[in-house]
Structure 1
Amino acid sequence: MYTNVDIYQALHELADVPVVDLRSPGEYGEATIPGAFNIPLLDNIERALVGTVHKNQGPDKARELAMEIVAPRLPVFVKSFQKIAQYKKVMIFCWRGGDRSHFAGSILDAMGFKVYRILGGFKAYRRLVTAYLGEENLPLRAVVVHGLTGVGKTDLLLALKDMGHPVLDLEGLAKHRGSVFGKIGQPPSPGQKMFEALIERALRRAEKYGIFLVECESRRLGNLYVPDSVLNTMQKGHRVLLYAPFNTRVQRIMRDYALGGPGNLSALQDAVVRLTKYLGKTKVNELNQRLAMGNFREVFGFLLGEYYDPLYKYPDGPSKDYDLSVNTQNMHDAVQRVSDFIISLPEYKIPGR
């Protein structure tokens, strides 16, 4: 028989076991346990149909219908598990640990799998995430990276992550860079629940270090909202200022936004139009004409110097208002300086020591 496990056991004691979400593709697409595979018992239409029968005719009739739907494709269902469960160990869950995970667990057990079934299903996981992020403050200290647009905040954070430092890449998780240009060249953003799940996972992993690195962000990234506990912890964190020469910043912005085909150009022009309230229609039309002619450096130079720099008001050089100020013109040296600063912090822990 399958083994029931609670959500804590699932995430910590059995973290190396493949996790499978049995819910429909629609449910999975809204949010899931990060890293979970989706092997649905029912597709979106079938789930809705079974739900209607359950409501109108009761649970027994609904189970009969579900069995009729699922039975013919059980061989394919089991083979899907064989592809991901190399050692025939697998962890499964549905919405609240009900019929779907009970049925799948019984079938897989009969086929020789070692099956772990998450008690409470995704609902239990969601409660864990909301409880963790619902605290006023997080149980670790933030190192918050500040700086004008184009100084390379994301580049620095990703380099530090590659070095093994704990990074909460909010823009990466949100698939949004945080401005009117934030969705250009980005894949679809997750929903709010999935965004929160990804944040919680990153923070849990960071706990063994005692700190996490994060870029200073506003509460909103596109249509997603950063949890209050994260913002509160950021406000009380160590502050690192990045700065770089203006031309270096323009070059980095061009690298991030000016590459791509006609679709990218159209997206840039649409984003500029959204600044009409601040720049005026005449200037917006002029900027978009220059974009159409390929004058990206001129356009981005104007936007940095005349709009974004005055908006964010960060220093363009060293400042005593920050715990550390770093010139990122040489990114390799900047990364090393920030890394040394992190390791020197009293809150910093070396995992395993």
Structure 2
Amino acid sequence: MLFRSAKLAQLAEFDDIIDVRTPAEFADDHIPGAINCPVFTDEERVIVGTLYKQISPFEGRKAGAAMVAKNIAHHLETCFKDHPKSWKPVIYCWRGGQRSGAMSIILSQVGWAAHKLEGGYKTYRRAVLDELDVLPQKFSLRILCGPTGSGKSRLLSAMAGSGLQILDLEQLAQHRGSLLGRLPGQEQPSQKSFDSALLLALQKLDPEQPV
């Protein structure tokens, strides 16, 4: 094989998680801790898709190959250039297809122990949803209620400061509810990004203690 594959459960074994999807895809959601090193810009992906559908798959692949080669060369000359031979990255795209495959092949040929994530982001997203179906049921949850402006967020902060476990959904959503709306100066996450943040927060909590 030109490169090796890795499963989602093995992510902790790698030095870096490389997301080769476009910046827009990465911003929508990504595996926690991943670094975005796209093989297509947002604009290039549109160009390739248009050529593929309106001209021919061959023309789309030909143009895409040139863009991928150019962008991987850029990453080799910049963000990858100081990595030692022992560097061990895992690479993913949307579903573990050609984009992550191209990056994995080249990094492996350089001499790094590059692995491609089986199933790509799609597998990660499915795992997040599956885990969110079962993990919350393991906790003893206490819901803090009160009208807008009553100081619920301040109380949660004080509770966290005293060592109690909290789960601040408004903070995760960067939103203060229907009346006050989004937090000033902060972008609201996508639903996918919120789900990832929620799962990460839950995984840090102790099911033996109330939340």
Correspondence list, 1:271-310, <5 A: none
Change (3 A) 1:71 1:131: same
The separation in 2 between residues aligned to 1:163 and 1:82, in whole angstroms, is 42
Q: Does 1:36 align with 2:37?
A: no
Tell me the amino acid that sits aligned with residue 104 of structure 1.
M
- Tell me what 2:44 maps to: 46
What are the equivalent positions in structure 2 for 1:1-353 lying under 5 Å apart? Answer: 1-10=2-11, 13-14=12-13, 17-56=15-54, 57-58=56-57, 60-82=58-80, 88-135=87-134, 138-150=137-149, 152-161=151-160, 166-206=165-205, 208-211=206-209, 213=211
Deviations 1:243-283 (A, max 9, x none): xxxxxxxxxxxxxxxxxxxxxxxxxxxxxxxxxxxxxxxxx
| Counterpart code for 1:64 | K
1:167, 1:202 within 8 Å by CA — same for their partners in 2? Answer: no
TM-score (normalizing by structure 1): 0.51
Q: Is the 8 A contact 1:4 1:117 kept in 2?
A: yes
CA contact (8 A) 1:142 1:211 kept: no
Superposition deviation, residue 29 in structure 1: 2.0
Deviation at 1:91, TM superposition (A): 2.0
Shift of 1:111: 2.4
**How far off its partner does 1:146 sit?**
3.5
1:82-134 deviation line (CA, Å, top 9, x unaligned) = 27968622221100000000100111122232323211111111111222224
Name the CA distance, whole Å, in 1 between partners of 2:31 and 2:7.
14
Identity %: 32
- Structure 2 unaligned residues grouped into runs of 5+: none
Q: Does the CA-based 8 Å contact 1:39-1:80 persist in structure 2?
A: no
CA distance in 2, matches of 1:186, 1:100: 34
Question: Structure 1 residue 163: deviation in Å?
Answer: 6.4
Per-residue deviation, 1:162: 5.7
The SS at the match of 1:199 is: helix
AA aligned opposite 2:111? G
Tell me: higher relative CO, structure 1 or 2? Use CA pairs within 8 A at least 6 residues apart.
2
TM-score of the aligned structures, taking structure 2 as reference length: 0.81
Q: Which residue of 2 aligns with 1:258?
A: none
RMSD: 2.9
Q: Greater strand percent: which structure?
A: 1
How far apart are 1:200 and its partner, in Å?
1.6
Q: Are residues 94 and 163 of structure 1, via their aligned partners in 2, closer, same or farther at CA, if it must alter by over 3 Å?
A: farther
Q: Is there any run of 5+ residues in structure 1 with no aligned partner, and where?
A: 214-353
Higher Cα Rg: structure 1 or 2? Answer: 1
Equivalent residue of 1:114, what SS?
A: coil
> Residues of 1 paired with 2:180 and 2:204: CA distance?
30
Q: For 1:115 and 1:157, how far apart are their aligned partners in 2?
A: 43
For 1:187-245, what per-residue CA distance to the aligned partner results, in whole angstroms no more than 9, with x for missing partners?
Answer: 01011111111112222232x543463xxxxxxxxxxxxxxxxxxxxxxxxxxxxxxxx
User: What is the count of residue pairs matched by the alignment?
Assistant: 208
